[in-house]
Amino acid sequence: MINTRYFKGVIYMLRPIMRGMDVSEFQGAIHFKNAKKAGMDFAIARAGYGSAKLYPSQYDAKFDDYYKNAKNAGMLIGAYWYTYAKDVDAAKVEADSFLAALKGKTFEMPVFIDVEDDTLPTNKAALTEIVRTFCQRVEDAGYYIGIYASLYWLENRLDMSKLKDFDVWVAHWNITCGYKGNHGMWQYTSSGSVNGVPCTRVDLDYAYIDYPSVIKGAGLNGFKKSSGETGSKVDVAEILKKIEHAKADLAEAEAMLK
């Protein structure tokens, strides 16, 4: 069974193309070379949380080390920012804090806003605008930005019709991902174990998109286009739509073979 589709010069997998982990300072001193040998293709590292430009202690103490050591191990690297923003003004400060942590680095994987804290606004429209403001500010700075949230938050707390221009990383700890919307990554467990990670539990993820090709090809996330030009916007919504259509085609074809 053919398991790929070709779109805009990049191969997209209908099943997971990469497996990785997401980490923060709570995972301790990670041996990334061992993690890569254990099958981890990528790591998404927390850069910090809240308004770290105003309160520097909120930058993740391990972020720079994780970035350097993952690169040295030959692992792909991305980043996320845990948000506490209560309004759009706070979202702008948090986005600028995130950008300060990303500056001077290159990321083959996307960067994300982590939307899960219980103190975030309960009003769907208000929270959606906070997330949109954050993502737009980071995207305008030349980054491939996505939204990390649980299945429940994606279906109930956010108006995803207003956020369709941004990629989605779904947290749904299950044997299959239950999210019906377009998404490029899936966090499938919070209780994984990886050689090289000293703590007993680590989040594990699948990616369905050849992110390095997309990101480098567009000159995003600190990379330059081969021509030396600055980055250009990627039509994320169109990419995700193509992937979901291809997944549906594959499911239909496999059903016919049973």
Q: What is the pLDDT along the chain (258 residues), one digit of tens a residue?
A: 233 333 333 444 456 789 999 999 999 999 999 999 999 999 999 999 999 999 999 999 999 999 999 999 999 999 999 999 999 999 999 999 999 999 999 999 999 999 999 999 999 999 999 999 999 999 999 999 999 999 999 999 999 999 999 999 999 999 999 999 889 999 999 999 999 999 878 999 999 999 999 999 999 999 997 655 555 566 766 766 666 665 565 555 555 555
**Tokens coding 207:** 């990616």
- Neighbouring C-alpha atoms within 13 Å toward the C-beta of 141: 21
How far is the CA of 51 from the CAs of 86, 89, 147, 232, in angstroms?
A: 11, 11, 18, 27
The predicted structure's pLDDT at residue 163: 96
- Measured from the Cβ of residue 224, the count of other Cβ atoms closer than 10 Å reads 13
The predicted structure's pLDDT at residue 200: 76
The predicted structure's pLDDT at residue 84: 98
How far is the CA of 104 from the CAs of 20, 35, 181, in angstroms?
A: 23, 25, 33
**Tokens coding 59:** 């930058």
Q: Is the dihedral of CA 18, 23, 27, 30 positive or negative?
A: positive
- Measured from the Cβ of residue 68, the count of other Cβ atoms closer than 10 Å reads 13
- Between the two ends of the chain, the Cα-to-Cα distance in Å is 13
The predicted structure's pLDDT at residue 16: 76
Which superfamily does CATH assign the domain made up of 4-257 to? Glycosidases (3.20.20.80)
Nearest to residue 96, comparing CAs of 68, 121, 44, 133?
133
The predicted structure's pLDDT at residue 196: 93
**Contact of 60 with 24, CB cutoff 8 Å:** yes
